[in-house]
Structure 1
Amino acid sequence: MRRNKQEPSIKIISHRGASGHRPEHTLGSYELGARVGGDFIEIDLVATKDHRLVARHEPEIGGTTDVADHPEFADRRTTKVIDGEEHTGWFTEDFTLDELKTLRATERIPAIRPDNTAHDGEYEIPTLEEIIGLAERLTAELGRPIGIYPETKHPEYHVSVGLDLEPPLIEVLRAHGLAGPKPAVPVFLQSFEAESLKKLAETELPLVFLTGTEEHWQRHLTPEGLAEVATFAHAIGPNKDSIIGRDADGNLTEPTTLVDDAHAAGLLVHPYTFRSENHFLPADLRSGDDPTSYGGFAAEYELFFDAGVDGVFSDHSRHAFLAREIYMQEG
């Protein structure tokens, strides 16, 4: 059954910015995502050697910057184990902020988003402070609040290298008036690790527990598990397949009870990640064989809106915004 359409309560979270149109986690991507309809700038935070917080999807930056083209950093290529997985490349914690600022961002998935490569080399790696400044400026310019939605990325790993993410995050938030019950712009804090969220509880900000689809996550998605999550978080950010899955042929199946169960536990639901290209869409919503072409993304959003989600992480904020507008206008 459809929700009351009187208020656009579904939040659009610009996933790594407008990452379907610009290299992810850049000020250009974040600004575009807000200007075309996003309500929140979603940020993955990792630490530098001098303990500054910057935005990258992973500590390893070989796939999202031009670091491999910098001979002065060739000897920093190494192999590390993060959360049980081996990664080879260059890692933010081996660079000072000044060194990282000499690099430029590149498109992470050029085969799927070839147009984004036209912007390779345009943008620096942004700091948390720079992103907050952007959100404040856009809030003033657009006349509507543009919030931030930071994630502590691999917090346990950062603890192991002596660069805990939570203390500098809390410090920066407080310095910008973003902690407490009435932050200057809206804020959600997210993590896949419950312990990280518990460390962030002192901010008095809404906390989002992220979950995946692997077996070890399933206990958190039962009514009993959700009741436990509600003791330390205000929302869940599940993989969207946990809400509407796919069958063996890649077609969408019927919704699960997860949204209703989470709401019953007092939790908001913000699933990830909505993407408009055929490569990512369910088989029954693809527009053809070209993986880079857009398919029936509006129909996918509508199904999740009908399921009752409270927000969506989207690489294509404009598409999410238009789908929400259409949905709100329909009977």
Structure 2
Amino acid sequence: MAAFWHISIIVLVLLSRESNANPAAPQHSQLDVNHRKPLQTFRPYNIAHRGSNGEIPEETTAAYLRAIEEGADFIESDILATKDGHLICFHDVTLDATTDIANHTEFADRKRTYEVERQNVTGWFVVDFTLGELKSLRVKQRYSFRDQQYNGKYQIITFDEYILIALYADRVVGIYPELKNPIFINEHVKWSDGKKFEDRFVETLLKYGYRGEYMSQDWLKQPLFIQSFAPSSLVYMSKMTNSPKIFLIDDTTVRTQDTNQSYDDITSNGYLAFIRKYVVGIGPWKDTIVPPLDNYLGPPTDLVARAHALNLQVHPYTFRNENVYLHLDFHQDPYLEYEYWLGEIGVDGLFTDFTGTLHRFQECTAPYPKNQKTAEALLQKITYMIKDSGY
């Protein structure tokens, strides 16, 4: 952990400098991108769900740095907007579950009840606070059965700060931001120029140089997947960026927040054929792919096969080490779960709270090819020689 905390201090200083300067992009990071170890693309992606939040409170600088240290291919985040229009990394539209908001008596009168996805929700809402006010809060671990020692140590971070964490990594690390609750955000947050949440989201990505279709040279330099549960937002954003997008799919009982479609509607062959014009894959809740029976695995559905037949990737969520989340077939062993999903179901990426566990499994079962390492080292050497020669 000593190396991790050393890197943390360096990155925090860099983030402070860049945030104050409000850069168009971190130029030296872009210049160094060709000198860094590239993103692996030969095996399913290790997607750090809200960072390494099985160890450190979610969506914090430390959680993302830990995930990078543990071998994540992508760091994932949920993006919301503040009262004054800043984009932040935070999962819930309310602050109650993962911050110390209840201890801040100065905000006691901010508690509200709003309709969120057709249900009334009461709490302290992100959209009722400025960025400065949110920065005064401290984040805590969501689950009581996880390590509590880091509670109160970290702030909420901005979308810009999250991006800089990836760009300043010592290897190429992708980002996987989710446009969170766009219907709710667009209802409660208004920008003076009349633009929408989706506009601000894409503008931020473009500002930092994120562009290019999946597997293009631009994409490989700065890998990105844009994700959302709202299909209309994905279609809208496709007019502004050709970066790859993932359509998230909820539980079978949950209707889409924007189009009010059922699970059966959005996983039908016809709808998958329609949405593939705008996305490169789907991100379903894993229990919709393999529905459990009395906490044992039931027969798999054909969703993965149908998606693959349309050349759509499948990135299910969320994989966790704790016994409460492991079906009994896996005998309290998360490695057995990864073996099943990667070997038998054959998905293309996994959202995990425990990046290190997945990375260790893949290094044992699908290690980095030696010949690929050699080829990449040779290519890097040639690149340096060309630059040194002045061509």
Q: Same fold (TM over 0.5)?
A: yes
Q: Distance in 1 between matches of 2:204 and 2:354?
A: 28
Deviation at 1:7, TM superposition (A): 6.6
Q: Secondary structure of 1:187's match?
A: coil
Structure 1 position 158 matched with structure 2 position 178: no
Alignment match, 1:174: 206
1:207 match = 245
Which of 336, 346, 351 aligns to 1:313? It is 351
1:79 aligns with 2:113: yes
Residues 39-81 of structure 1 show CA distances to partners (whole Å, capped at 9, x for unaligned) of 1111101100111110111110111111111111111011111
Match of residue 243 from structure 1: 289
Residue 223 of structure 1 and its aligned partner are, at CA, apart by 2.5
For 1:207-266, what per-residue CA distance to the aligned partner results, in whole angstroms no more than 9, with x for missing partners? 10001222411222232332122122111000111222211x211123222111101112
Paired residue type of 1:74:
A
- Residue identity matched to 2:184: Y
Matches within 5 A, 1:244-283: 244-247=290-293, 249-283=294-328
CA contact (8 A) 2:318 2:352 kept: yes
1-structure distance, mates of 2:58, 2:189: 27
Which residue matches 2:360?
Answer: 322
Higher fraction of helix: 2
Partners of 2:82 and 2:189 within 8 A in 1: no
Q: Does 1:146 align with 2:178?
A: no
Residue 90 of structure 1 deviates from its aligned partner by 0.7
Q: Which amino acid aligns with 1:9?
A: R
Let me know the Cα RMSD of the aligned residues.
Answer: 1.6
Q: Secondary structure at the match of 1:199?
A: helix
Equivalent residues of 1:170, 1:179 under 8 A apart: no
Inter-partner Cα distance in structure 1 for 2:67 and 2:365 = 20
Q: What TM-score comes out, normalization by structure 1 length?
A: 0.89
Instruction: Indicate which of 103, 107, 126 corresponds to 1:92.
Output: 126
Residue type matched to 1:200 in 2?
Answer: M
Q: Does 1:231 align with 2:277?
A: yes
Q: Tell me what 1:193 maps to.
A: 230
Q: Distance in 2 between matches of 1:35 and 1:96?
A: 32
Q: Unaligned stretches of 5+ in structure 2?
A: 1-39, 191-195, 254-261, 368-391
When structure 1 is superposed on structure 2, of 153-162 and 38-47 the one drifting more is 153-162
Counting aligned pairs with the same residue, the percent is: 38
Rounded to whole Å, the distance in 2 between the matches of 1:167 and 1:225 is 25
- Aligned partners of 1:219, 1:254: CA distance in 2, in Å? 21
Structure 1 residue 108, shift from structure 2 partner: 1.1
Match of 2:150?
119
1:325 shift after superposition: 2.2
The code of the aligned residue for 2:199 comes to P
CA contact (8 A) 2:289 2:303 kept: yes
> Using CA pairs below 8 Å that are at least 6 residues apart, which structure has the higher relative contact order?
1
Q: Give the letter aligned to residue 168 of structure 2.
A: R
CA contact (8 A) 1:105 1:120 kept: yes
- CA, structure 1 residues 227+264, in 2 after alignment: closer, same or farther (shift >3 Å)? same
* AA of the residue aligned to 1:278: N
Are 2:83 and 2:189, in contact at CA under 8 Å, matched by a contact in 1?
A: no
Consecutive unaligned residues of structure 1, counting only runs of 5 or more, are 1-5, 287-294
Structure 2 SS opposite 1:80? strand
Query: Any idea what SS the aligned residue of 1:256 has?
Result: coil
SS at match of 1:118: coil
Summarize the Cα distance change of 1:221–1:326 in structure 2 as closer, same or farther, 3 Å threshold.
farther
Listed one character per residue, the Cα deviations across residues 177-232 of structure 1 (whole Å, up to 9, x for unaligned) are 11344245201000000111112112111010001222411222232332122122
Matching of residue 26 in structure 1 with residue 60 in structure 2: yes
- Distance in 2, matches of 1:223 and 1:276, equals 33
Residue 119 of structure 1: SS of its match in structure 2?
coil
Distance 2:101 2:41 in 1: 45
Cα gap change, 1:54/1:7 in structure 2, threshold over 3 Å: closer, same or farther? closer
Given that 2:140 and 2:150 are in contact with CA atoms closer than 8 Å, whether structure 1 keeps it comes out as yes
Structure label with greater radius of gyration = 2
Give me the TM-score of the superposition, normalised by structure 2.
0.76
